[in-house]
Amino acid sequence: MRRMEADVVVIGGGATGASVFRDCSLRGMQAILVERGDIASGTTGRNHGLLHSGARYAVTDSHSARECISENKILKQIAGHCVEATDGLFISLPEDGLDFQQQFMQGCADAGIHAQELSPKQALQLEPAVNPALIGAVRIPDGTIDPFRLTSATILDAREHGGALLNYNRAEGLLIEQGRVQGVRCRDLRNGEQFEIRCQAVVNASGAWCHEIMEYADLSVDMYHSRGALLIMGHRMNGMVINRCRKPGDADILVPGDTVSVIGTTSTHVGRDELETLEVTADEVKTLLQEGSKLAPSMLDARILRAYCGVRPLVAESSSGGDRSISRGLVAIDHGEQDGLPGLVTITGGKLMTCRLMAEVATDKVARLLNISVPCETASRPLPGAHLPEPIGRKMRQGQSRYRLPDSSLPNSIAGSAVYRHGDRARSFMQEDDHHNNAVVCECEVVTRGEILYAIETLNARSMSDLRRRTRVGMGPCQGEMCACRVAGLLASQQENGDEVLGSLQDFVNERWKGIRPVLWGDALRESEFSYWVQESLLGLSSLQPEGKAEDNRDLYHEL
């Protein structure tokens, strides 16, 4: 069996695992990140992308509120190209009354969150999409953050400091010798090869799946899996985050992000055996639309792009009040101290917002195990791309960059979109006279050929879905119907196995379809009919696949 060596192995390629990977690498440890799928393909990539101010928890969970506002300020400094500081509104409707708003204001003050009380008229002037029936509003420093860009930039920084990323590799066991964890047994899911990584410490950052890693050592944790459903609207209908000023409930937040808006979320407890088969139900879609339209009435007339859901990895001794009553605080376990098994650290709970803080806590524990005294620098050290070029003075449109490359003659639609996603690293693939690589391959999100190649060569993208997470290709209104085959062609030009690329294209199309299926009526149905015509009748997608895959594709389309 092949053997590798490292100081630290991090299991889990979400935002938390990526942040631990980075923190370890910056402190001089030789770190390897093991992820069974692609980065940010689990819970990290299935949330509403809110840059929390902490205000949502100001009344019910003051500790989490203080953590969020602190990390909010840090992320704006170190990850400016992943963040849009939109600010947010907490609105009170007639059915809510104003009693909770007063508790909310006091909670924000106690947590150190700047909150400004507004009149309904002032709120409507700031955000025309908000429900005009509101009776009160509070402005708070919410924003939006792209979890894919954040995770990708975090991993890029770790790799540039000596770390190694092993995505599509699954941890299948812990190497426990002489009463301590001394490594991980893994399998490469692309070729089936088994191998070992010997190390001094293992960090379990696998989120909702952390119990699986712990069970390799006969350990357990009280995990409460809470599934939340969300809807992506067909355009960006609000400029500010809109929240409902009441106790946390279903469909109480509308988040603008890039070119769309996201309404969420629901809350349903699910068992461990359901984590791989999550689907959005018709009742959840109905609830999200009915309650969400109370935030922004225009939602009822908007096209829905897709539905999706994720699982919150919550840890609590008691869940009698449901997941809304469970703290979103982080949980860090040194199993040497708690269970007499040194060499293993588990970090879970928390939120996307606190991934950097969670990593700092976990890496501090690892540093003590390895007798390393180098302090954490992640709160002050910018991520790759965060040194943004000069501002253009105003946004080109909602969801695009406020920045441009100095002295660039390229259209803002092209250069601005690249800078919006990659910050100053856009210089790596944006060349003034390179007309070939500046050609647009995804019109909805303005993704160029050069950006696709950059993601393949530098950001470790190996499949169509990987490219979606790195560049947003296929995430716009057409959901890949016009660009998927072009992008597959570029991917094939960089890989030897053409069948693997065709399989990747098939998986990409099917995943887009799964998200559309729960909202298949009206404009979404008409768009799906058009997608079928383009991809099947015009491009003959099924005819390019092996027989089994072709049948799978036809079966999905025939559900129309």
Give the pLDDT confidence of 261-313 residue by residue, as tens digits.
Answer: 999 889 888 888 888 888 899 999 999 999 999 999 999 989 999 999 998 88
Mean pLDDT (whole number) for 204-231: 91
pLDDT for 223:
80
Residue 332: name the closest of 20, 6, 9 by CA.
20
More reliable by pLDDT, 556 or 167: 167
Residue 175 has pLDDT above 80, yes or no: yes
For the ranges 171-180, 354-363, 513-522, which has the lowest average pLDDT? 513-522
Contact 518, 309 (CB under 8 A): no
Residue 375 has pLDDT above 90, yes or no: yes
pLDDT for 502:
85
Residue 372 has pLDDT above 70, yes or no: yes
What band does 314 get if pLDDT is binned at 50, 70 and 90? confident
Residue 98: name the closest of 82, 119, 112 by CA.
119
What band does 31 get if pLDDT is binned at 50, 70 and 90? very high
Cα angle, residue 263 at apex, residues 451 and 111 outer, rounded to 5°: 95
Q: Which two tokens stand for residue 132?
A: 């005009």
pLDDT for 320:
46
Angle between helices 464-471 and 147-160 (to 10 degrees): 100
Q: Which two tokens stand for residue 406?
A: 């100095």
pLDDT for 406:
58
For the ranges 162-166, 252-256, 389-393, 512-516, which has the lowest average pLDDT? 389-393
pLDDT for 165:
97
pLDDT for 317:
54
Handedness of CA 536, 537, 538, 542 (dihedral sign): positive
Residue 394: name the closest of 380, 376, 381, 412 by CA.
412
Write the pLDDT tens digit of every residue in 316-352: 654 444 554 455 678 899 999 999 999 999 999 888 9
Domains and CATH numbers, the chain: 2-43+148-222+329-369 (3.50.50.60), 83-143+224-309 (3.30.9.10), 439-558 (no CATH)
pLDDT for 308:
93
Contact 354, 68 (CB under 8 A): yes
Residue 158 has pLDDT above 90, yes or no: yes
pLDDT for 542:
72
- Work out the mean pLDDT of the chain and round it to a whole number: 88
CA 95 centroid distance within chain: 33
For the ranges 28-32, 205-209, 367-371, which has the lowest average pLDDT? 205-209
Cα dist. 345→27, 36, 204, 269, 363 in Å? 17, 19, 6, 26, 9
Mean pLDDT (whole number) for 168-179: 96
What band does 499 get if pLDDT is binned at 50, 70 and 90? confident
Q: Which two tokens stand for residue 538?
A: 């015009």
Residue 393 has pLDDT above 50, yes or no: no
In this structure, are strands 8-11 and 50-51 parallel, antiparallel, or unpaired? unpaired
More reliable by pLDDT, 548 or 530: 530
pLDDT for 513:
85
Identity of the residue numbered 181: V
Mean pLDDT (whole number) for 181-191: 96
Give the DSSP H/E element, type plus range, for residue 442.
strand 440-442
Bond prior to 363 in cis (omega within 30° of 0):
no
DSSP single-letter state for residue 391: B
Say how far apart CA 405 and CA 327 lie, in whole Å.
43
Q: Which residues pair with 167 in a beta bridge?
A: 35
